[in-house]
């Protein structure tokens, strides 16, 4: 039995029970799994290679002797079956988008159709060497060109570079474009304005380009106020970096006035596209006054991500920033597609080769399968799902900013802080109900934040199971808070000392 099997959330209220809810949870069926080193036996191997007739080659022909060693002391000696079972069992200990709702706010973790994986593995794509001559890669180059045009249409921008390999690199590329634009006009400017509700990578991207970061507070409604922004705008402001909808899941209602204000002072607007899953097919950042935007293909356009990648962070720009896009750029003439570096004002290359190609293929397959109507429907469903959870949970959890949200909603621990229970305790307890926890303690403008993004790919039944679990936990806070302080109770490893793990990590196994 897969150990991540969904727990049956009790339907009766906590007050009807004589024992803490831990006893109502169905026990996991666990396959005990020791360290791979503990399965080791001398002489056991996981491969069998036939003898060959190749001449023996001295290692020092390939590697300097100082880099070679005769043996790996303590390296596990195991069979192939033991290796497969070991890592399969470990994988079953995890909660993931393949096993449960994965409601990470501000980091869209939607279901990724398997058909996109099939397309990305077509031999013509997966076996294509990045240094193959252009004449033998015309199909792949056409795909890149088509994808760029699709993204430009979806965003309302004039040109797109697919080169950046992740959202953060797309941010950095966008700010470099802004810097080059101002530099060409003889005044590079000094500061970048960033709302208090911005993504955490925004200040880093601006600082890496040499800008000073100035934080702009959000208003009482959780969005930017034009009058407040105006108080920060002067001749030294290069740009405003704004996420719309913002990290509170709220649409910036005064975005047109704010972008007009920046443009009136010669500044530009960078719009973070991490939350494009709430806009695609319905509204276009280019129509809101954005000069540059990055796309997180691994969020909005269906590529598995998390745990380190992969990602893709294309950048879309308005016409006045197009000359500065990274090189090489894809051009087309009578002989077909080719790469060109004949763009003298370009900021240069930002990535080896041309982005993460397989991620681009997946995104292209997703867009073609969905079509314009499908993308719009996905956006509306993402907004509907988030608001459904908001209404179901609002009676039990404090909503940071009351009212409708877009693709995500943000609660806080304000309603139960007096009990000594914290947001972290709720997140840990959710694991016992078979759900991965939402984003917690972000955005920083909300104390004890619990940030939920269900995405469009979850059914009402799944949303109800998730809401039932959180509502049961809210009842536990009142009746049995000790359960939350000990949670999780039914995971392979109980609550860890995370502070100690961060400060004193154990990175090497040693034989006892």
Tell me how far apart the alpha carbons of residues 198 and 205 are, in angstroms, rounded to a whole number: 12
Do 410 and 295 belong to one domain? no
Q: For residue 89, which of 4, 26, 6 has the smallest C-alpha distance?
A: 4
Element (H, E) at 201: helix 201-208
CATH number of 192's domain = 3.40.640.10
Q: Could you give the CA distance from residue 156 to residue 295 in angstroms, rounded to a whole number?
A: 12
Whether residue 157 contacts residue 188, with contact meaning beta carbons closer than 8 Å, is answered with no
Same domain, 218 and 157: yes
Residue 12 confidence (pLDDT): 41
- Please check whether residue 31 lies inside any domain of the structure: no
**Residue-level pLDDT at 110:** 87
pLDDT tens-digit profile of 220-273?
999 999 999 999 999 999 999 999 999 999 999 999 999 999 999 999 999 999
Alpha-carbon distance values, 438 to 221, 452, 499 (Å): 23, 5, 20
Query: Do 190 and 256 share a domain, yes or no?
Result: yes
- State the pLDDT at residue 507: 79
233 within some domain: yes
pLDDT of residue 494: 84
Q: Is 71 part of any domain? A: no
- 278 and 389 belong to one structural domain: no
User: Do residues 476 and 362 both lie within one domain?
Assistant: no
Q: What is the pLDDT of residue 62?
A: 72
Looking at the structure, tell me whether residues 340 and 441 fall in a common domain.
no
The DSSP result for 382-437, as a single string, is HHHHHHHHHHHHTTTSEESS-S--SS-EEEESTTTGGGT--HHHHHHHHHHTT---
Q: What pLDDT is attached to residue 60?
A: 59
CA distance 148 to 142: 10
**Block residue for tokens 């593995």:** 121
| pTM of the full structure | 0.87
Is 109 part of a structural domain of the chain?
Answer: no
| Residue-range definition of the domain harbouring residue 327 | 116-369
Tokens of 61: 């022909």
Residue 145's H or E segment, with its range, is: helix 138-155
Region of 281 on the Ramachandran plot (φ > 0 left; ψ -120 to 50 alpha; else beta): left
Task: Go through 161-182 and write b for each residue having 16 or more CB atoms within 10 A of its CB, e for each that does not.
Answer: bbbbbbbbbbbbbbbbbbbbbb
Segment (H or E) for 376:
helix 357-393
For residues 180 and 282, state if they share a domain: yes
Segments of the chain scoring below 50 in pLDDT:
1-29
Give the number of domains in the chain: 2
């Amino acid at each position: 039995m897969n150990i991540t099997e969904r727990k049956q959330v009790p339907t009766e209220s906590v007050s009807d029970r004589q024992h803490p809810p831990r006893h109502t949870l169905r026990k996991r069926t666990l396959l005990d799994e020791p360290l791979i080193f503990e399965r080791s036996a001398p002489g056991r191997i996981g491969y069998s290679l036939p003898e060959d007739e190749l001449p023996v080659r001295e290692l020092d022909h390939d590697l300097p002797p100082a880099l070679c060693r005769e043996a790996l002391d303590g390296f596990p000696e195991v069979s192939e079956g033991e290796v497969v079972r070991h890592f399969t069992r470990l994988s079953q200990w995890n909660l993931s988008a393949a096993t449960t709702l994965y409601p990470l706010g501000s980091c869209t973790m939607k279901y990724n159709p398997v058909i996109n994986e099939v397309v990305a593995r077509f031999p013509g794509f997966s076996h294509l060497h990045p240094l193959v001559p252009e004449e033998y890669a015309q199909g792949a180059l056409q795909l890149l060109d088509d994808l760029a045009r699709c993204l430009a249409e979806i965003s309302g921008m004039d040109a797109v570079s697919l080169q950046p390999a992740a959202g953060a690199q797309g941010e950095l590329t966008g700010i470099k474009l802004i810097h080059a634009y101002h530099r060409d006009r003889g005044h590079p400017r000094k500061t970048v304005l960033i709302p208090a509700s911005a993504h955490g990578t925004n200040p880093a991207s601006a600082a890496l380009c040499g800008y000073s970061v100035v934080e702009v507070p959000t208003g009482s409604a959780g969005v930017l106020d034009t009058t407040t922004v105006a108080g920060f705008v002067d001749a030294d402001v290069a740009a405003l970096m704004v996420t719309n909808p913002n990290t509170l899941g709220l649409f910036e209602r005064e975005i047109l006035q704010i972008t007009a204000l920046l443009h009136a002072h010669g500044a530009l607007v960078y719009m973070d596209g991490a939350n494009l899953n709430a806009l695609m097919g319905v509204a276009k950042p280019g129509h809101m006054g954005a000069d540059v935007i990055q796309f997180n293909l691994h969020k909005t356009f269906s590529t598995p991500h998390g745990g380190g990648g992969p990602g893709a962070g294309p950048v879309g720009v308005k016409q006045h920033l197009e000359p500065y896009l990274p090189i090489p750029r894809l051009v087309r003439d009578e002989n077909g597609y080719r790469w060109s570096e004949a763009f003298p004002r370009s900021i240069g290359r930002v990535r080896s080769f041309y982005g993460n190609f397989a991620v681009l293929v997946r995104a292209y397959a997703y867009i073609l399968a969905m079509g314009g109507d499908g993308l719009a429907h996905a956006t509306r469903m993402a907004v509907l799902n988030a608001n459904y959870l908001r209404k179901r949970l609002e009676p039990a959890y404090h909503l940071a900013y009351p009212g409708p949200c877009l693709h995500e909603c943000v609660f806080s621990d304000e309603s139960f802080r007096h009990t000594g229970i914290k947001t972290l305790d709720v997140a840990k307890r959710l694991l016992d109900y078979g759900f991965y926890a939402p984003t917690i303690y972000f955005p920083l403008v909300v104390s004890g934040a619990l940030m939920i993004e269900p995405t469009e790919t979850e059914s009402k039944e799944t949303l109800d199971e998730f809401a039932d679990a959180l509502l049961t936990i809210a009842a536990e806070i009142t009746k049995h808070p000790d359960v939350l302080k000990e949670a999780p109770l039914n995971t392979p490893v109980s609550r860890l000392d995370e502070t100690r793990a961060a400060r004193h990590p154990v990175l090497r196994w040693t034989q006892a």
